[in-house]
Structure 1
Amino acid sequence: MTGPVDQTARPKVYLAHATEDKPAVRPIAEHLMANGVEVWLDEWDIEVGESLRQQMEAGLEGMTHFVVVLTPAALRKPWVQMEIDAGILRRIGGESRFVPLLVGIDPSELPIFLRTMLGVRFDPASDADLRSLVDRLHGVSRRPALGPVPDHVRVAATAPSGWSAAAVAIARLMVTSSRNAMLRDPVLTLAELVEGTGMSEEDVRLATLELKDAGLIWEGAVGRHYAPEGAMFAEFDAAFMAFSPGDDAVIVANRMLEGTGRAVDTRTLAAELGWEARRMNAAICYLQSAGAIEQRHALAAQPLRAVQLVRTDETLRFARNRS
């Protein structure tokens, strides 16, 4: 237990030490005072004729930190041991912090109870050690600043559940890089996936395997080249694009059921809806993944995935189930 010591107040230190160590302790106290740390030091705060015990007890009152300079000489002094006992009691009671400075001794030389506390190897002649002590007493954190969450982890929270963060990162890169959601649009190398997601090559390989097993990604037979399958747009576009293929698929299905003919011209329908090829193709991918349409293909269809969409009974069921 370290207790609810107020770290916002200016630190006040009780500096315990052996008399023999004053030449080393005095510069420590002076450095602390020069850096905004109030120090109680016996030679500064006890006048001739005053009670040592009473003044030391007064010095302990209101201290935020009990600092003890532990040297071979200090460990032999009964009076220093009594001060340490008082400092430990204040620590247990949450009245002050306990800061042992190990000067010229090894932790193995300390009494067993003191070994349980985090001691600081300290060189009074070291500017770095003095700066570190000042920072510690002022409550300056030694913990590095907390950086942002990696992008591939952050975006996973917005994606459909059930996917690893790495798989989501790759899906995001692919769907946002796709120009029209056509076949093999885009084709990315392993190196491009690593660079685009900021993940390790090992994580990328495992994530592509996850997506490939789910039928969402194509892998080239030669080399490591990857491209999204239509099901990837159906699954991830809603998370990373400005439209929802699922909602759009319902609109398309209902429009297909309005007419008397079975086939609908894809280009005409896209123009009537005011959708670019990227959005229209994502809706087609969703309907295809749901088994709700048949498609008629031709080279003239580009940049759309089909020349015509053909309705079936599955189209009717799809529309009714989502009405």
Structure 2
Amino acid sequence: MAGLTFNGKPFNPKDFEETMLRAVRDKVAAQVQASVGAIRDPDNGEFPTVVTSIDEEGNIVVRIEGSPTVLAVVERRLAKAGEEEEEEDVSGKAEVEPLVPKVFLSYGGEDRELAERIARALMDAGIDTWWAGWSIGAGDSLPQKINEGLGDCTHFVVLLTRTSVMKPWVKHEIDAGLMRRISAQARFIPLRHKLPADELPPLLRPLMSPAVDDPPSDIQQLINDIHGIVRKPVLGKPPAAKMGPLHEEYSAAANTVAKVFVERSETALFTDPEISLEELIAVTGLTRDDVVDAAHELREVLNESSSIGQDSYYPTEEMFVRFDGKFGEWNPAHDALRLATDLVNDGAFPAAVEAIAERYGWSARRLNPALAYLMNRKLIDARSGIGHAPWAAAWVQKTDTTRRFARSRT
């Protein structure tokens, strides 16, 4: 069977695809680094760092890291750049004003004074209100003006009293308002004044009908409803999980799954360890769906392997970069900064990773996440070698990026 070749050399299509993806990832990282990496916090001199990865679906994921202050500077710079790029597109175009709610206020003649107070309170609250007292002038056609008001309204409000519910004209306007509600063109709001809810016309009884007695003091909720201001209170924070501090970017289930990999890994290297779906369910106490969804949430740092009759998961090195600080005895970001600083400041600092581990007294389990932090963010020059396991690299060397990272973070 003939093999596949590229430039005259045999190649594996899967390896070729992975190589191309990594090449694209590196190109994206270089482009982001060029635009973002040069941004500097003017107060403390810190530069941001850029980390790229490829998730299990082949998507390139870019993360920008740094202190809250430098990230705020980056956000402002990128927002400004985006505004400048859009200036040409938006020039000459009319500005889109926010939608102003429009109310058609229906009422009986005997309730004119109360209706005017309601109409003025709505206008004062930023709600454009059609009220006959100012919407119909001398010589105007009544049906035409009413139809115009009904056709433009986003909210049909009818003031219902014991007298107005009997008025034929009010009934006609209610019919028109209900038709707009049925066609999803307007909301229908029955507003009761000294009228019990059980005395409403049968078609209106299923609708929420607020009562009003002394506007404008008692129609604030009506105003809020028209403006779409919800009554539901802001959702508070859930109780802290028993497992301790969580990684705030992930759900409790994802933290639980990540913690298993952090505690079981011996080297913090790619695929260490590989754990079956069934074992994760048993160890975490989560349901199958919860584990599968947690793995999907962690897809930037956790890969899935499927074989006949069994699914399993294995981590990337970035898993330990992100979660060791939460569930381990050390913080890879802090260790990485120490390593970068020593590379920059100590001319006699060893390049061999094994010698670095001996100097610090660190195991591979601790040093590798620090190396992965620096390598994934292109902050050092790292090289592999034959038999360099259990280390993430054989030797490392500082670059100008290492210097900028070390100096800006210290």
State the TM-score, normalized to the length of structure 1: 0.49
The structure having more radius of gyration, on CA atoms, is 1
